Amino acid sequence: MTPAEQSAAARQICQLAPVVPVIVVKDIAHARPLAEALVAGGLPALEVTLRSDCALDAIRVMAEVEGGVVGAGTLLTPEDVKAAKAAGAKFGVSPGATPRLLEACAEAGLPLLPGAATASEVMALLERGYTVQKFFPAETNGGAPALKSLGGPLPQVSFCPTGGVSLKNAPDYLKLANTLCVGGSWVAPDAMVQSGDWAGITQLAREAVEALSGFKG
């Protein structure tokens, strides 16, 4: 899979909804109901971060949920890529990008949202053919004003900003021409996950869709 093909697939995934939930699954028993709650609320693209011991098992379980498109976040190594692909991940997300990681995703046929924070990083990825990237960490790198500035000289690159994004500041990003969607954890807060408040999470997802869809409708 070429970088251009990866970016085309990533663009389609990013356009499914205004928010890609960024999820940390600590208990495998939470995986299915959490995925079902978010999909029911209108957020089908789910990024499961590889930050817990059961993350890969969670991807396997969530991949079976009808209507969901499950990806693996925090991909750092070629081994992460292989494991995520084997678990059923349909896309990958990385905080940054290295040649080995990019090559592994291409070989595995895994669409990737590679992370970039500076103009040089964006240009290096664009040079390889990645026209859809993750702007991370968004807020600490200047937020929406910084992302807007990148759009001036680099209008051919579109982004999913992640890191410090909330329902309050998401509109600032989504109104930008170079933003496809945002990544955020606020739609699946840990306290609600641990308490099993699936109806509450569905409601948060619905509120996000209702509040933000107009910016990319």
| Coil, strand or helix at 49 | strand
In the chain, domain spans: 3-216
Query: Residue 34: is its pLDDT beyond 90?
Result: yes
Least confident of 46-55, 183-192, 208-217: 208-217
pTM over 0.85? The answer is: yes
Cross-strand bridge partners of residue 181: none
How does residue 182 score in pLDDT terms, banded at 50, 70 and 90? very high
**Would you say 20 and 47 are in contact if contact means Cβ atoms under 8 Å apart?**
yes
Among the listed residues 26, 36, 47, 148, the single catalytic one is 47
> pLDDT digits over 89-129, tens only?
999 999 999 999 999 999 999 999 999 999 999 999 999 99
d(CA 71, CA 88): 8
Q: Is the dihedral of CA 95, 97, 101, 105 positive or negative?
A: positive
Catalytic residue selected from 79, 82, 134, 168: 134
DSSP 109-160: T--EE-EE-SHHHHHHHHHHT--EEEETTTGGGTHHHHHHHHHTT-TT-EEE
Helix (H, G, I), strand (E, B) or coil at 44: coil
pLDDT one-digit tens code per residue, 148-181: 999 999 999 999 999 999 999 999 999 999 999 9
- The 10 Å CB-count burial string (b at 16+, else e) for 128-157 is bebbbbbbbbbbebebbebbbebbeebeeb
Q: What is the pLDDT of residue 217?
A: 56
Which CATH class for the 3-216 domain? alpha beta
- Residues 205-213, mean pLDDT to the nearest whole number: 97
Catalytic status, residue 134: yes
Residue 168 is a catalytic residue:
no
